[in-house]
């Protein structure tokens, strides 16, 4: 299957949207090339503002633009936009429910050799906890294009996380044509276990399910790119069918996808659950593939662990 860059897809889609939506203003935090908003900056210099390494100020400016009727999008590394500028996101964006779009790239472990200071293993938890905030984690480049359009159309605070590296195209192969916030996708169907993933882990979840199928274990594979709001209807229907649920994310298992699923299940249909992710530790420096392997977040390492969970 083909691999593509979600960041590149995001940057290209911004250009397309800018032609249709003159109110769109983009702000960067001195990382325009890394976040792929450099394409927008070159085409529309009068609609782009580089705040420099001052993410708090960038968020304040975005809030002001939103209050003035513009549609601002602020982009930086996920760790900076959700952690360094957290107070400003909370007080200036989420609290007044302003229409500000936040995009965090290099999310999860994908900042790789930049190390723990740049790896946002807690960004979804930080954003999920904020009232009024919507949180997205598209699976691949194709879904990123669709999610970017849905984000700009959405009214209210919204955060989207993207990885640094290229990702296998899985949602694109499904023929998905529209991203609906609050709606998940069923990529594979089975009765033995429900595997739920988001972002870069969706491709791994599909490979895990394919490996399980060789042992006559059929899995429901759900792509939950909308973390908040979560598609609880799809989740509960699958959990009722399989009786076992697994979540996979490149994020701490506290407060992210696994936390959202656990909360929904406990309210609606208590079900046996196993969450795979970053186990309450910070990241470390290394090659991308080595970091994911070290955390057990590769299909090769996940498949036997999921099998073990099913057979308990």
Residues annotated as part of the active site: 55
Judged on CB neighbours under 10 Å (0-12, 13-18, 19+), 219 is buried
Of 118, 128, 143, residue with least CA distance to 151: 143
How far apart are the C-alpha atoms of 147 and 137, rounded to whole Å?
Answer: 9
Residue 16: count other Cβ atoms within 10 Å of its Cβ.
12
How far apart are the C-alpha atoms of 254 and 125, rounded to whole Å?
Answer: 7
User: What is the residue whose two structure tokens read 């959202």?
Assistant: 260
User: What is the residue whose two structure tokens read 């296998």?
Assistant: 168
Helix 6-20 and helix 141-153: axis angle, to 10°? Answer: 40
Of 154, 138, 237, residue with least CA distance to 197: 138
State which H helix or E strand residue 249 sits in: strand 244-252
φ, ψ (nearest 5 deg) of residue 242: -95, -35
3-state class (DSSP) for residue 309:
helix
């Amino acid at each position: 299957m083909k691999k593509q860059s979600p960041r590149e897809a995001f940057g290209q889609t911004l250009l397309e949207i800018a032609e249709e939506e003159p109110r769109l203003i983009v702000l960067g935090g001195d990382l325009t090339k890394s976040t792929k908003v450099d394409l927008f900056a070159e085409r529309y210099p009068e609609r782009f503002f580089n705040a420099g390494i001052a993410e708090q100020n960038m968020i304040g400016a975005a809030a002001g633009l939103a209050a003035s009727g513009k549609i601002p999008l602020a982009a930086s590394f996920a760790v900076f936009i959700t952690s360094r500028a957290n107070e400003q996101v909370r007080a200036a964006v989420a609290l007044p429910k302003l229409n500000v779009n936040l995009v965090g790239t290099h999310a999860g472990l994908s900042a790789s050799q930049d190390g723990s200071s740049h790896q946002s293993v807690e960004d979804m938890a930080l954003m999920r906890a904020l009232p009024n905030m919507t949180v997205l984690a598209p699976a691949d480049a194709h879904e990123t294009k669709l999610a970017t359009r849905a984000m700009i159309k959405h009214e209210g605070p919204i955060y989207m996380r993207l990885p640094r590296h290229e990702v296998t195209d899985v949602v694109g192969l499904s023929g998905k044509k529209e991203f609906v916030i609050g709606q998940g996708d069923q990529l594979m169907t089975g009765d033995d276990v429900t595997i739920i993933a988001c972002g870069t882990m969706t491709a791994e979840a599909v490979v895990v399910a394919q490996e399980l199928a060789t042992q006559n274990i059929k899995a429901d594979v759900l792509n939950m790119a909308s973390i908040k709001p979560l598609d609880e209807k799809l989740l509960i229907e699958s959990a009722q069918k399989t009786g076992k649920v697994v979540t996979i994310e490149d994020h701490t298992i506290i407060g992210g996808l696994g936390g959202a699923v656990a909360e929904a299940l406990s309210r609606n249909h208590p079900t046996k659950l196993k969450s795979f992710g970053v186990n309450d530790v910070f990241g470390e420096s290394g090659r991308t593939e080595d970091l994911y392997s070290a955390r057990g977040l590769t299909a090769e390492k996940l498949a036997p662990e999921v099998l073990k969970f099913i057979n308990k």
